Amino acid sequence: MGNEAEPGAAPKHLRERIPHWRLLLDHGVLTDEILNHAYSGSGTEEDPYAVTWIPNDPRNPMLWPKWQKWTYTLIMAVATMAVALVSSAYTGGVRQFMVQFDIGTEVATLGVSLFVLGFALGPLFWAPMSELWGRQILYCATFCGFTVFNAACTGSKNAASLIIFRFFAGSFGSSPLTNAGGVIADLFPASERGIAMSLFAAAPSLGPVLGPIIGGFLGMTEGWKWLMGLLAIFSGFMWIVGSLVVPETYAPVLLRRRAAALSKVTGKVYRSKIDIDKGGQVSVRRAFAVSLYRPWLLLFVEPIVLILSIYLAIIYGTLYMLFAAFPIVYEEKRGWNQGVGGLAFLGVLVGEGLGILWSIYTNKHYIKVQKKHNGFAPPEARLPVTIIASVLLPAGLFWFAWTNAPSVHFMASIAAGVFFGAGLTLCFLGIMNYLVDAYTIFAASVLAANSVLRSLFGMAFPLFTTYMYQNLGIHWASSIPAFLALACVPFPLLFYKYGHRIRKYCKFASESDKFMRTIIEQTMQARNQQQASIPQTRDSGETQVQSNAGTPPAQYKEEERGLDTGDEEKAIGSATPKYHAPESG
């Protein structure tokens, strides 16, 4: 059986280093060590060689140097933030759109709403594509489309074409929202992933807040065409950087292409061990079918997914509601110009920054809980920070609602944004991590369901904001999302106290729990076996304990990322699942 180095920090001496250009262009690159490795099997159709990572494999993303991993992480985070920034920076040119195209506020707001609708629809197609063909080619293709449609907005001759281009820009731009998180999961084992995921997860909320600040001044001084042009230039720059710097990182695709390269060179039959264990590669038709129906199934049959997705959708919708509400509160009522009006989002921005710092700090507590449970903390350990955040959200919104009158100093209402921003970030991180931990083998489908519902709320809220503020006034209109957030306060506490019981009565959650119990038992057995073999290893002069590619420790580290769509089917009804490949993004 082929061996696999334990994922973690990069060894000081990887095997023959592969040039960067080959990492980018040759996904099935072969070295002498890879070619001559003793893979299990006999090389026939009935018993193919099972291709796994070899010890200290230079193509294994988890063994790359930390500087390399963090470079790719930063690029993916900025690319994700760029998409979110484009979604809201558009608001800086709304006044100019209305004048030039002779349209009302509601029609102009469609440029935001339909962009966010693209966030809901795009991932349903990009996720299975990532699984089938890898993350790199998907990023290159979709971010190119994102850039093209942003540039097309600049040349729009009427409101209809502008809004349609915005929809397609959002659809293509939605790819990094799911794909980039998968890149980070490919690079870091779970024990090192906390900070990287915190920074990445903050990008979708930081971007929308930066958008009005940048767009407000640029739209006011240079006009909406320059605004859209700058967004196209920024997205084009990130497309070039991402395409030239970040190589393919998705292990199932890399091993599949390595197997194909080995078969071509040797004339023997090689197959990826991941594909062998799955019973073959998932078909294109099956991958798309599962991607389109399973998120809806989970959304409506799993109360945990439904309730927490509604909660996040309300928060996300409220954030996008503010893009229509702040111009009313600060520009119409206080007489601020577009540029200064965008600065009102600084309070939310500061709050999000504090939320990120707090999440990094509390991650230390989570690691302690993890150690107490032999490396497998219960999903509910993710929720304490969310309980605090659930109080910050309505507090900040009520504060804003009743201090936003022109007679009250502007800093009072802007300061309320700090509480809302911190609560938003902490809620997102806590709930997303909880859903992933509670639905390990169905994680990607759960996150897709959450993303669809969240984006639908983000699309809808700005459309009725203007009417709501006109009919109810700035105080009561601002109080409505505060009351919704207040009604959701019990949810994190409910799942923190009773989540372990509720999960037993949920079909998919209970299957995930059974799976994880099996993994825990196997991992503990493997650890005991490794500890027992350490004296013998030392006697033989070896300094590194290598884990077999099929052993539970490596298996669990891959499993935490979720599974391929075909693996979800197999996990249902099986209390002792076998090895599964991680699901895309």
Grouping H, G, I as helix, E, B as strand and the rest as coil, residue 272 is strand
User: In this predicted structure, what is the pLDDT of residue 405?
Assistant: 93
User: In this predicted structure, what is the pLDDT of residue 2?
Assistant: 42
The conformation of residue 43, written as its DSSP 8-state character, comes to S
CA distance 344 to 326: 7
Q: Model confidence over 494-524: pLDDT tens digits?
A: 999 999 899 988 888 888 888 777 766 766 6
Residues of the chain with pLDDT under 50: 1-10, 12-13, 537-585
Task: Answer whether 563's CB lies under 8 Å from 444's CB.
Answer: yes
**Parts of the chain belonging to CATH 1.20.1250.20:** 86-247, 295-575+580-584
The reported pTM is 0.79
Both structure tokens of 317: 């919708």
Angle between the N-to-C axes of helices 159-173 and 105-133, in degrees from 0 to 180, rounded to the nearest 10 = 30
Superfamily of domain 86-247 in the CATH hierarchy: MFS general substrate transporter like domains (1.20.1250.20)
User: In this predicted structure, what is the pLDDT of residue 527?
Assistant: 63
User: In this predicted structure, what is the pLDDT of residue 511?
Assistant: 84
* Phi, psi for residue 511 in degrees, rounded to 5: -65, -40
Q: What share of the chain is helix, strand, coil (3-state, %, to 5)?
A: 75, 0, 20
User: In this predicted structure, what is the pLDDT of residue 520?
Assistant: 67
The candidate with the shortest Cα–Cα distance to 83, out of 36, 122, 46, is 122
CA distance 207 to 352: 11
Q: Which helix (H) or strand (E) holds 49?
A: strand 49-51
CA distance 246 to 69: 10
Task: Answer whether 565's CB lies under 8 Å from 278's CB.
Answer: no
User: In this predicted structure, what is the pLDDT of residue 571?
Assistant: 38
The candidate with the shortest Cα–Cα distance to 478, out of 532, 420, 398, 540, is 398
**Sign of the dihedral through C-alpha 19, 21, 24, 25:** negative
CA distance 49 to 258: 12
User: In this predicted structure, what is the pLDDT of residue 195?
Assistant: 76
User: In this predicted structure, what is the pLDDT of residue 408?
Assistant: 94
- What is the third-level CATH fold of 295-575+580-584? Growth Hormone; Chain: A; (1.20.1250)
User: In this predicted structure, what is the pLDDT of residue 399?
Assistant: 97
Neighbours of 13 (CB within 10 A): 7
Longest Cα–Cα distance in the chain: 83
CA distance 433 to 469: 35
Both structure tokens of 513: 């729990």
CA distance 529 to 286: 39
**DSSP characters over 280-339:** SPPPHHHHHHHHHHHHHHHHHH-HHHHHHHHHHHHHHHHHHHHHHHHIIIIIITT---HH
User: In this predicted structure, what is the pLDDT of residue 559?
Assistant: 36
User: In this predicted structure, what is the pLDDT of residue 578?
Assistant: 34
Neighbours of 424 (CB within 10 A): 28
Cα angle vertex 336, ends 334, 337, to 5°? Answer: 155
User: In this predicted structure, what is the pLDDT of residue 191?
Assistant: 64
Both structure tokens of 86: 């484009």
CA distance 456 to 196: 27
User: In this predicted structure, what is the pLDDT of residue 547?
Assistant: 36
User: In this predicted structure, what is the pLDDT of residue 418?
Assistant: 96
Both structure tokens of 142: 């979709």
Q: Which helix (H) or strand (E) holds 3?
A: strand 3-4
Residue type for position 196: A
CA distances from 401 to 343, 474, 475 (A): 18, 7, 5
Question: Which residues neighbour 409 within 8 Å (Cβ) at sequence distance 6 or greater?
Answer: none
Count, residues in the chain: 585
